[in-house]
Amino acid sequence: INITALTVLGDTGFRPALIASENWQYSDNLSWYRGGHTFKFGFEAVRRRYNLLQSTAAHGIYDVTGIYTQNIIAAARTGLGAADALLGVPSSGNINALAGVRGFRRTEFVWFVQDSWKLSQALTLTWGLRYELFPGFPWVEVYDRQANFLPHLGDIFVVGSPELPERSATRTERNNFGPRLGLAYKLGASTVLRAAYGIFYSGESVPETNLPGVNPPFTGSVGFVNNQADFAGARRFNQGFPLSTTGSFPATGAQLFTIERDFALPYTQQWNAGLQRQLNTSLVLSANYVGAKGTSLVLGPNINQPRPGPGAVAARRPWPRFNNIAEIATAGSSTYHSLQVSGERRMQRGLSLLVSYTWSHAIDNGGFIGNRQDLLNLAAEKANADIDLRHRLAVSYTWELPFFTRNRVLGGWRTNGIASFYGGLPFTVSSAINTLNGSGNQRADRRGQGSLPRDQRTLNRYFDIAAFAVPGQFLFGNAARNIVTGPGTVQFDQSFFKSFAFDQERRYTMEFRAELFNIFNTPQFNNPASGIGNPTAGQITTAGSKPTFQRTSRQVQFALKFYF
């Protein structure tokens, strides 16, 4: 139960989960040397078997957003999720049902050829071509228990039917050619110029819980969206979900999942150019420009999004017969540009040091997770990417401590250290009070800059919430995605190692290791609450990410290893 401004109640989605997978892989490679050429040829085949029993909401999900305690005429500062919960009326809900384990299968093929051609002592040219084929992408189900929604026909069809003859629900794309080109040119005795370009395809790992394997008539996903202006006719908690009692899974009223029939395999163009210069026997400097362009990236829009407005929600959908329709679409795109500079002092006199700095900018038009605000306006989603990290400085070193070097007990210590300084990640300012009457996510209206000067930011007011407002009734918010940047990261990690030998030949050794992460216990604050209308908007209430071991609080661990 998701109640706006409160902690989630109950179990999370995607449970229970029974997953069994195995991959069979065959590869063969051949190298041929002729003159200044080094040719490589290769082939690979992968057979994937994936058995799954899982759905997005097997126990049911309710969303309570405060639409029934909201002033429709002037929504700002009105509406409370907890109050709607006490009234017993959610804004929407959905539940999934499964009828057995699904057996998904797929085979992938790769062929490649590559030549490294040494034209002279100073110039080496590398070129190649890779071809990838994914028949049956994303999956074929062993008993064809899949059905796909076809927008041009406005209905759902079982795979293998005349309308949908492909067992995987998609046509196989056959033009996945990935060229490679690179060069290395020596400019004098101590400077090297390198440049490269390539196209790389990705057999995208789309969650099976969002694919045609969870559609009627084989499985069921039903939901409802209440009309904000019809409190008396709203579906209440005590009515439960609109489940069928016939034992079958009807399509009418179902929440569907679909994938583009002409699914284009996502690919990335990557390129780089840089100089590397050796100043002396131990010091190396490098500067590189690195760029990338993502095309046909996977998005997950609700193609049955109702248009904002008054009246019943279903009547405002493109296909009123169905609930939300989550599509696997390949309309995504991204760009990435970066300047990467580093200086390395290789091990000398027991000390090595590496300093690297990256300035970068990542832009995209959304991702698979997180629906777009307006289905009909994909251009409005183009903004800083969720992973847009502008500045990153890292300093790392290894030092063999020069103390008690002749003492087998007290000497032989080694230490490693990493100091990390990152900028913050961007976030979107949304509207916690939804005024669209069932039309999905809503961003806030932007009235000012939003960001605060560094000396004015506090845990209780990290950005200027007065620069944003709840949009008017039935209006999308005008704020763009990811326009405010969250807190950065400052972290120091340290480790100490000591090796003890039990014999002269070092056949038996013991290693003691102490590792300290975030040694100064610097708080690693997360982004603030960003829902305008939420009492906690602008406040930072959490720090670190324990599940991913990222940006942690101080952690200390010890280990002993015995080598023999």
Measuring CA to CA, which residue among 503, 511, 502 is closest to residue 559? 511
Residue range 188-240, pLDDT digits in tens: 889 999 999 999 999 877 888 888 988 988 887 888 899 988 999 999 999 99
Mean pLDDT of the chain: 92
Q: 412: phi > 0 → left, psi -120 to 50 → alpha, else beta; which? A: left
Number of separate helices (H) and strands (E) present in the chain? 1, 30
Pairing outcome for strands 256-259 and 325-348:
parallel
In the predicted structure, residue 31 carries a pLDDT above the cut 70 = yes
pTM for this entry = 0.86
Vertex 438 angle, CA 442 and 445, to 5° = 20
Tokens 């400085």 identify what position?
393
In the predicted structure, residue 106 carries a pLDDT above the cut 90 = yes
pLDDT at position 495 is 95
**Strand ranges for 266-412 from DSSP E:** 267-278, 283-299, 325-348, 351-364, 383-384, 391-400
| Sequence-distant (≥ 6) Cβ neighbours of residue 554 within 8 angstroms | 516, 517, 518, 519, 520, 521
Pairing outcome for strands 351-364 and 123-133:
unpaired
Residue 44 in 3-state DSSP?
strand
SS3 labels along 384-426: ECCCCCCEEEEEEEEEECCCCCCCCCCCCEEEEEEEEEECCCE
Q: 242-254: buried (b, 16+ CB within 10 Å) or exposed (e) per residue?
A: eeeeeeebebebb
pLDDT at position 308 is 95
Backbone torsions φ then ψ of 56, nearest 5 degrees: -75, -25
Distance CA 536, CA 7 (A): 12
pLDDT at position 73 is 75
Residue range 412-445, pLDDT digits in tens: 789 999 999 999 999 999 998 889 999 988 999 9
Residue range 499-557, pLDDT digits in tens: 888 887 778 888 999 999 999 999 999 999 999 988 899 999 988 876 666 678 899 99
Residue 365 in 3-state DSSP?
coil
